[in-house]
Chains A and B, each alone.
Chain A
Amino acid sequence: MQDLSLHILDIVENSLAAGAKRVEIRLEEDLQEDRMTIEIVDNGCGMDEEMIQRALDPFFTTKTVRRVGLGLPLLSEACRISNGELCLQSSPGQGTKVRATFQLSHIDRQPLGNMGDTLITLIVGHPEVDLFYEHRKDGASFSLDTREIKGALGDVPLNEPQVVSALRRHILAGLEELAA
């Protein structure tokens, strides 16, 4: 994976494969503490203790099309090389929380990349799921909750091209403002 926004897309795809109906992504860039934290919380099927232990091992997967799982080990390695760590919390039937930390200024920390493209890809691919995103940086923040947007849209689906275009512009503008 070239950047963290791609890791996030991949980790959220795990949540969706686990049947999550709501996924919350929280990202914080803490300049004072020199920390970056990514948290992904889902209400999917969850994992038991043994699965959690094995999920960080690339030779573990519950998929049947390929014998190795790469998503979590790759993110774990990205954390480790930039002086951070990956923490997995989960219980069967309760959902899963993935928490990844990085030293913000570390030379080997991957760049965040295009979070807007990741969010839009998730929204278009899984319009039925509620997606919450919050990005905090230095006192400023951007957030989005597709549950609220769906409420306002009524029976018009989230993946209607006109809705997608408006959402894309909105997310892009919000994230650009935060980056400035």
Chain B
Amino acid sequence: MAKLSIEDLKKIKESVQASVTLREGGSRAKVNIHMGTCGIASGARGIMTAVMDEIEKGDIKDVILTTSGCAGLCSREPMITVELLGSAPVKYIDLTPDKMREIFSEHVLGGKILEKYALSVGSETTF
């Protein structure tokens, strides 16, 4: 098995510490995925995997990924909230991994809100 040894973890630790000093720790965006029962049953975990794949593929280091519980809009799940530093959060609904990848490149990386999948712009700020 690809054993993750203490040595491996130490190497990762050093490499992370080096890159964190370079970018001075700032994050440009936060993606929050709603992980309540309805979200999970309608594919939220697959949305999470899609974002993680994009982050890995693009070697992105300044996007924070979080999860939260049910927001009460169960029929529109999977749902996420994208928040760029200094801008109002945007909620996206009825997602699929493909839509997620589009939102990731257009909005999270490109800064352009994708109105066609958005529910609302505004509401609560989380960072």
A contact residues vs B (CB 8 Å cutoff): 1, 6, 9-10, 13, 17, 63, 65-66, 69-71, 74, 117-118, 120-121, 124-126, 142, 149, 152-154, 156, 159-170, 173-174, 177
Query: A6-B40, A149-B9 given as contacts; is B2 within 8 A of A125 (CB)?
Result: no
Are B17 and A156 interface neighbours, CB within 8 A?
A: yes
Are B40 and A161 interface neighbours, CB within 8 A?
A: no
Query: A9-B40, A17-B69, A166-B4 given as contacts; is B13 within 8 A of A156 (CB)?
Result: yes
**Which residue from chain A places its CB closest to the CB of B51 in the assembled complex?**
A124
**Which residue from chain A places its CB closest to the CB of B17 in the assembled complex?**
A156
Query: A121-B67, A124-B52 given as contacts; is B2 within 8 A of A156 (CB)?
Result: no
Are B16 and A152 interface neighbours, CB within 8 A?
A: no
A74: which B residues are within 8 A, CB to CB?
37, 41
Are B37 and A152 interface neighbours, CB within 8 A?
A: no
Are A9 and B2 interface neighbours, CB within 8 A?
A: no
Query: A63-B70, A152-B10, A161-B61 given as contacts; is B1 within 8 A of A13 (CB)?
Result: no
Are A65 and B37 interface neighbours, CB within 8 A?
A: no
Interface of B is mostly: helix
Are A10 and B2 interface neighbours, CB within 8 A?
A: no
Are B6 and A152 interface neighbours, CB within 8 A?
A: yes
A9: which B residues are within 8 A, CB to CB?
35, 40, 45
Are B1 and A117 interface neighbours, CB within 8 A?
A: no
Could you give 17 example pairs across A and B, Cβ below 8 Å? A70-B37, A74-B37, A117-B49, A118-B45, A120-B52, A121-B49, A124-B48, A156-B12, A160-B12, A162-B61, A163-B16, A166-B4, A168-B52, A169-B2, A170-B2, A174-B2, A177-B1
Task: Determine whether B60 belongs to the interface, using a CB cutoff of 8 Å to chain A.
Answer: yes
Q: How many Å lie between the Cα of A125 and that of B66 in the bound state?
A: 5
Q: How many Å lie between the Cα of A6 and that of B35 in the bound state?
A: 11
